[in-house]
Amino acid sequence: GAGVSQSPRYKVAKRGQDVALRCDPISGHVSLFWYQQALGQGPEFLTYFQNEAQLDKSGLPSDRFFAERPEGSVSTLKIQRTQQEDSAVYLCASSNGLNNGYTFGSGTRLTVV
């Protein structure tokens, strides 16, 4: 596609509910990244894929967070047993090289109530 597509755009979850956030990167982009952005802050790195391989998941805040990219294109970020502190905008980005900029999606705003 022309850009990075994320869905849903907004998600309201009750505390304890599981959620799944989807990212459709630019076709052919090898690298895919997930970031978490709290209100008024910069994006914080969560995890990174190169094709289907998850090369870095050091930013995932707890074992309730899980990401996958099984066929090296679409990625899903899953959060189990959501907590209020998980409320944030989750941004996905893709890139086609080490010295190229990222293309970001519009993000999914997750609100846990």
Partner 1 sequence: SQQGEEDPQALSIQEGENATMNCSYKTSINNLQWYRQNSGRGLVHLILIRSNEREKHSGRLRVTLDTSKKSSSLLITASRAADTASYFCATGDSGGANNLFFGTGTRLTVIP
In the complex, the residues that contact partner 1 under the rule CB under 8 A are 4, 31, 33, 35, 41-45, 48, 50, 55-56, 91, 93, 95, 98-107, 109
Whichever of 18 and 56 has its CB closer to partner 1, that residue is 56
C-beta separation of 30 from 71 below 8 A? no
Which is it for strands 31-37 and 44-50: parallel, antiparallel or unpaired?
antiparallel
State in angstroms the smallest separation of the CB of 43 from partner 1: 5
State in angstroms the smallest separation of the CB of 13 from partner 1: 19
Whichever of 82 and 105 has its CB closer to partner 1, that residue is 105
Whichever of 16 and 61 has its CB closer to partner 1, that residue is 61
Those residues whose C-beta lies under 8 Å from the C-beta of residue 69, and which sit 6 or more positions away, are: 32, 49, 51, 52, 54, 75, 76
State in angstroms the smallest separation of the CB of 100 from partner 1: 7
Helix (H) / strand (E) element for 103: namely: strand 103-104
Q: How far apart are CA 73 and CA 49, in angstroms?
A: 10
